[in-house]
Amino acid sequence: MIGFVIVSHSEPLAHAAVDLAMQMVHDEAPPVRVASGADGGFGTDAAAIADAVDALADSDGVVIITDLGSAVISSELALELRTSTVPVRISDGPFVEGITAGMVRAATGGSLDDVAHEAAAALAAKRPQGSPASPGAPTSDVLAPDGASTPDASIDAVLRNPMGLHSRPASLVVKAAGGFDADVAIADVTTGAGPASAASLIGLLTLGVSEGDIVRITATGAEAAAAVDAIRRLVDDGFGELAAASA
Amino acid sequence: MADAATTDVVTLEILDRWVRLGAARLDAEAERLTALDSAIGDADHGTNMHRGFAAIVAKLDAAPPQTLAEFFKAVGMTLVSKVGGASGSLYGTLFLDMGKNAPDGTSMSAAEWNRVLAAGVAGVVGRGHAEPGDKTMIDAFTPAVAALDDAVAHGASLADAAAAAATAAERGSADTEPLVARKGRASYLGERSVGHIDPGSASTALLLRAFADALAGEAA
């Protein structure tokens, strides 16, 4: 699994951000090390970051997520100071969203490339729905509307939960999709948004699916039908968010 | 003991005297540096630099380095861990890269010192991606290295070359006052950073003046 080094000027900030992200992780959590502060105060310590990376030497790769500017400088220096050879990416993603999206992707078995991309693209979830992406922003999580190949399985379902496809249900979709040998995508048929890869929390959030929207769940791969069925059941069930409303 | 004022080589003894003098001056000037930083930063540069150099003195007392490379590495690693933020990593990189480029042994000529300092400054530029005019320590380091180059090329004494470098750094630091910060925390202030000297350039000038004075025999 991919591990994380959280580099923050503030130790409470780092731990709070990790705790927040853990709300979205429903599987075995990825290994996380916090490297924060310098000599007891605000700051960053390249030697501590190097130690944190080395502590994750047994993982499949490490994504470093940073807060303010000098955290990047210290992380770059740490890569010179470390002794392990585990592959490392320093993410330029936003701190809170990047930790959350990256950890969800890592928990579902994403590669270093997958996790680094997910963290880097995490700012997309903050853009107003329907607004054009900022120049140069990654958009590859939203797949081309008409893919070259037809999916092996496809089904339409109505999203029932009042809050729409927000981060908690989206993380459940990511988890469910990750359990099958299939590439799963979700599109909002009502608004025309997507499709977005079901492997990407951020991609799903950018769809902005609301209550009552028809979603199209498509999949290709050996277990396409089972994957589509599993996610349809989540949607039909309102992601477990209907119980309170109907009780 | 050789007359330090006429030395033609930078020895371990001079380097030791330099960082101790630097520590004493950072102690005396911590408030001024922090005041500069409170205008355009997070008001901790003086405190942080003083803490870092005090830790260096303690480290040199506990385990005196035996070679130039050991000296620079000890100083660099201490700054990395004790200063925090960009200053710790950037000054840390300066000394670590000076160590990687230091000649074997315990002393170096003016030309070697010139090359070692230039290599350290190149490391800082590579790490922070700052250019002259961005209102950073590079605005003090760049003219200092240029002055050192020029002095060494014209056969100046080590003492004169170091003094010229210190003067150039002080001028470069003063010249950051009208600039708009384009790197670091101060860059968030944009135009409001105008009218303040960059604290990183001020600590750079302080350290290079301390080097020139240590070379001339001054001790903390």
Instruction: List pLDDT tens digits, range B172-202.
Output: 999 999 999 988 888 888 888 899 999 999 9
How far apart are the CA of B165 and the nearest CA of chain A, in angstroms? 26
Whole-number pLDDT of residue A244: 57
Could B80 and A76 be called an inter-chain contact, meaning their C-beta atoms sit closer than 8 Å? no
pLDDT tens for chain A, 247 residues long, are 999 999 999 999 999 999 999 988 887 999 999 999 877 778 899 999 999 999 999 999 999 999 987 899 999 999 999 999 999 999 999 999 999 999 999 998 999 999 999 999 988 877 765 454 444 444 445 554 444 568 899 999 999 988 889 888 999 999 999 999 999 999 999 999 889 999 988 889 889 899 999 999 999 999 999 999 999 999 999 998 886 554 4
Tell me how crowded residue A132 is: count the other CB atoms within 10 A of its CB: 9
pTM for this prediction: 0.77
Question: What is the arrangement of strands in the sheet containing A214-220, beginning at the earlier edge strand?
Answer: A153-158, A214-220, A183-188, A193-197
**Is the per-residue pLDDT at B4 higher than 50?**
no
How far apart are the CA of B126 and the nearest CA of chain A, in angstroms? 10
Rounded to whole angstroms, the Cα distance separating B37 from A173 reads: 48
Residues in A closer than 8 angstroms to B126, CB to CB, are: none
∠ at Cα B186 (B183, B188), nearest 5°? 90
Could A42 and B42 be called an inter-chain contact, meaning their C-beta atoms sit closer than 8 Å? yes
**Is the per-residue pLDDT at B161 higher than 80?**
yes
CA distances in angstroms from A138 to A98, A115, A117, A148, listed in the order given: 13, 14, 9, 21
Q: Which residue out of A8, A10, A11, A39 would a mutagenesis test of the B interface target, given it has the greatest number of B Cβ atoms within 10 Å?
A: A39
Active-site entry in A9, A15, A26, A166:
A166
**Burial class for B187, CB neighbours closer than 10 Å (0-12, 13-18, 19+):** middle
Do A17 and A126 touch, CB atoms closer than 8 A?
A: no
The answer to whether A81 faces chain B, any CB pair under 8 Å, is yes
Find the residue in A nearest to B123 (Cα). A77
Domains of chain B: 9-215 (1.25.40.340)
Could B44 and A73 be called an inter-chain contact, meaning their C-beta atoms sit closer than 8 Å? no
Rounded to whole angstroms, the Cα distance separating A213 from A240 reads: 17
Do A62 and A51 touch, CB atoms closer than 8 A?
A: no
Residue A166 annotated as catalytic: yes
**Burial class for B113, CB neighbours closer than 10 Å (0-12, 13-18, 19+):** buried
Whole-number pLDDT of residue B134: 93
Whole-number pLDDT of residue B156: 93
User: Nearest by CB to A43, which of B85, B128, B184?
Assistant: B85
How far apart are the CA of B159 and the nearest CA of chain A, in angstroms? 33
How far apart are the CA of B81 and the nearest CA of chain A, in angstroms? 5
- In this structure, what DSSP letter does residue A180 have? S
Question: Which of A122-131, B50-59, B85-94 is the least confident region?
Answer: A122-131
Whole-number pLDDT of residue A126: 73
